[in-house]
Amino acid sequence: MIRVLIIDPQFEDDPDIEREVAGEGVTFDIVRPGAGEVPPEPLRRADAVINCRSRHRLPAHLVAEMRRARVVVQAGVGFNHIDIDACARRGIPVCNTPDYGTLEVADHTLGLLLALTRGTTAYHLRLLRRDDAWSTSELPMPSVRRMLGKVFGIVGLGRIGHAVAARARAFGMEVAFHDPYLPAGIEHAFGYRRAVTLDELLGRSDVVSLHCPLTPETDRLIDDRAISAMKTEAILINTSRGGTVDLDAIERGLRSGRLLAAALDVLPVEPLDRSHPLIAAWSGQEPWLEGRLVLTPHAAFYTPESLADMRRLSMLAVVGYLRGGHLRSCVNQDELRAHGYSPGGAADAAGREAGRGVPRNDSSDGPHGVPGAAARAGTRRSG
């Protein structure tokens, strides 16, 4: 019997999707820690762990409680809240689910841009408060502008970045991107303009959209220096990870006028901290910020369909590895190798039965490997 621990799932009671994917011989433990730490006891019993929300961290001391666990799966894209090296020391692969919600995040990104460039949110709020808002003289907004011919700059051209690029191009925008981990010349296949450096992209783009993971190199990637490198009156959109922007720098950029507008679906601290000067000004509807800041509650990924995909793909990652030895989107492959393990492939069966990986064999990487730490660093795409 395989025992799967699901931490804080995004369903109310029955793991119906997970059970259908798993089939016979699987039992489920469900814990909902709330704001607290994941309790150690269910971790000790689990053969596999599915973590559903980034607010629940799995640091080294909790990984040490995983006495039976053979795989950890993050039901989502980001994994910086999991100590992947601590997992690797115990021979535990960590997988994520980067291929759910691609369409939703791409649509949301363009929706945020339209909210600014067409003023829909600001016009809506004006009409709620003022009858005189129904007047041509009241239509000018700082960020309202024609999109045709503007440069849409993408940081991280992965699954989501590609989907966003296609949508931006459909609006007649010129697409540029910065992604140091794509091979030379790939821009010719895409038909997009490539920026060799981040500063080059920032200086070229009318809109900058972030689609990179949160790593040590992308932590506060958009700070005061980056904003100073942007075109005057540029728009910033973030639907990736909240920590990729310095919120203090965004506040200073907007207040000074150096940054025209911003749309943020993710924040460095979630739920939002209303004491932060920028959030306080937005919440108080201060006039200087009208039409220049749109916030949504980490909702870009969400539709009922995408949530079902996330649950299904997470469970597929568990059973695919435990029953078939096939790793799906392993994010700590390099760390596993560094600690003497080489996960993936049918040859791993004996090691899985023993609750560990297989001793390192650098010459026999299976077909289910993914780029390792070097390719995950920097501004590598998140989707």
* Entry pTM: 0.83
The closest alpha carbon to 279, from 243, 251, 239, belongs to 251
CATH 3.40.50.720 in the chain: give the residue spans: 2-100+303-376, 102-295
pLDDT the model gives residue 263: 98
pLDDT value of position 383: 53
Active site amino acids:
241, 270, 298
Fold for domain 2-100+303-376?
Answer: Rossmann fold (3.40.50)
> Measured between alpha carbons, how far is 38 from 201 in angstroms, rounded to an integer?
41
Q: Using an 8 Å Cβ cutoff, are 212 and 379 in contact? A: yes
Name the class of domain 102-295: alpha beta
Tens digit of pLDDT at every position of the chain (383 positions): 999 999 989 888 789 999 999 999 999 999 998 878 999 999 999 999 999 988 888 999 999 999 999 999 999 888 989 999 999 999 999 999 998 999 999 999 999 999 999 999 999 999 999 998 999 999 999 999 999 999 999 999 999 999 999 999 999 999 999 999 999 999 999 999 999 999 999 999 999 999 998 889 999 999 999 999 999 999 999 999 999 999 999 999 999 999 999 999 999 999 999 999 999 999 999 999 999 999 999 999 999 999 999 999 999 999 999 999 999 999 999 999 999 998 764 334 333 333 333 322 222 222 222 233 333 333 444 45
